[in-house]
């Protein structure tokens, strides 16, 4: 009778466990990591060798900047499946982020392992885009005495271009921008737009113009992207440039109001920042009342908004 009871119970237990894993994966896909984590942990208790669950928990730890936990999960995965490029990439990335949190002397001890695992990922998967981006960043940031090399970064940019022409141009633009070759960087970013035309390519060129104090070009590029892609975040970006550079005030006001009207959590930038930018524009115009109205809205939405609190006194003195 006992064996018969277990026979009927086993499918129920297995179904419940499967449901737990499915729910955890659904939460993870929605970005609800706090809800997903305990479900993955519960599933791991009865399935300690389940690699996908351990990878999910490593990813959640990475998202939470808990680098020691992430390193622990990824290290075990690499040791079990040393031919998996993604495991090497994630392990190298977690080591890199851990190194950034340490003193420069301690961080030096991580460099060899970071290089080793990024390089392993690149060699194991000739089409692994993220690894090649990571290697470009690594070779640009490292001093020459520790193996930093622009020429090696360019080699990986060439490899990227063989995998994804757009990524190749973006990488080459980034390298030239890093070397302060403004004309070459602009050329590559424009080529990325011509080939791909994605929101990301427009964003890179817009940000490049902002960094190089070319607000007119930045606004024009963002406007073209908005016209083509209709992404609400671009309304904020245009308004931000208008506010910071005291230019195109009416365009900035219109875009920021559109941003607030159409805002959703997917846009990323909270509405208090749009109120803050509106206050900046009206301050630039000398309109004290409207500037105060919007800065008060920003602070009401986020009482600890330091930037808004800081300029409120300036607005009151208009």
Angle between helices 182-195 and 199-211 (to 10 degrees): 160
pLDDT of residue 4 exceeding 50, the answer is no
CB 258 within 8 Å of CB 232: yes
Nearest of 64, 62, 232 to residue 130 by alpha carbon: 62
- The model's confidence at residue 181, banded by pLDDT at 50, 70 and 90, is very high
Q: What is the pTM of this model?
A: 0.81
How many CB atoms lie under 10 A from the CB of residue 143?
7
Distance (Å, whole) CA 84 – CA 72 = 16
What residue ranges do the domains of the chain occupy?
Answer: 12-125, 198-318
Measured CA to CA in angstroms, residue 61 lies from 17, 68, 75, 136 at distances of 22, 8, 13, 25
Angle between helices 129-141 and 85-100 (to 10 degrees): 30
Distance (Å, whole) CA 176 – CA 178 = 5
pLDDT at 56: 95
Tell me the pLDDT tens digit for each residue of 240-255.
Answer: 999 999 999 999 999 9
CB 260 within 8 Å of CB 222: no
Q: Out of 106-115, 186-195, 217-226, pick the least confident.
A: 106-115
Residues near 55 by beta carbon (within 8 Å), at least 6 away in sequence: 73, 74, 77, 87, 90
Q: Out of 14-23, 54-63, 156-165, pick the least confident.
A: 14-23
Of residues 185 and 21, more confidence is placed in: 185
- Domain 12-125 carries which CATH code? 1.25.40.10
The reply to whether 198-318 shares the fold of 12-125 is yes
pLDDT at 15: 46
Return the CATH fold of 198-318. Answer: 1.25.40
- The model's confidence at residue 17, banded by pLDDT at 50, 70 and 90, is low
- Mean pLDDT of the chain, nearest integer: 91
């Amino acid at each position: 009778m006992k064996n018969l009871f277990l026979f009927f119970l086993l499918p129920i237990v297995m179904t419940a466990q499967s449901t737990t894993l499915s729910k955890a994966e659904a939460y993870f896909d929605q970005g609800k990591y706090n809800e997903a984590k305990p479900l993955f942990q519960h599933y791991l208790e009865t399935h300690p060798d389940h690699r996908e669950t351990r990878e999910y928990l490593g990813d959640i730890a990475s998202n939470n900047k808990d680098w020691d936990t992430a390193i622990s999960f990824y290290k075990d995965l690499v040791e079990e499946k040393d031919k998996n490029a993604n495991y090497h990439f994630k392990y190298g990335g977690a080591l890199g982020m851990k190194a950034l949190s340490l003193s420069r002397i301690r961080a030096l001890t991580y460099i060899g392992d970071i290089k080793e695992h990024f390089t392993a990922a690149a060699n194991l998967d000739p089409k692994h885009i993220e690894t090649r981006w990571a290697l470009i960043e690594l070779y640009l940031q490292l001093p020459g005495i520790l193996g930093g090399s622009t020429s090696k970064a360019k080699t990986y940019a060439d490899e990227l271009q063989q995998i994804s022409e757009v990524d190749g141009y973006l990488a080459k633009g980034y390298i030239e921008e890093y070397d302060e070759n403004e004309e070459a960087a602009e050329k590559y970013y424009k080529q990325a737009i011509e080939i791909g035309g994605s929101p990301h390519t427009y964003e890179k060129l817009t940000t490049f113009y902002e960094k190089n104090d070319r607000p007119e070009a930045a606004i024009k590029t963002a406007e073209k992207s908005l016209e083509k892609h209709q992404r609400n975040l671009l309304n904020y970006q245009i308004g931000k440039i208008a506010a910071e550079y005291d230019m195109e005030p009416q365009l900035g006001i219109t875009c920021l109001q559109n941003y607030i009207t159409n805002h959703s959590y997917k846009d990323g930038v909270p509405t208090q920042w749009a109120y803050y930018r509106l206050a900046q524009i009206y301050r630039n115009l000398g309109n004290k009342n409207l500037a105060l109205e919007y800065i008060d809205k920003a602070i009401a939405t986020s009482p600890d908004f330091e930037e808004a609190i800081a300029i409120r006194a300036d607005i009151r003195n208009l």
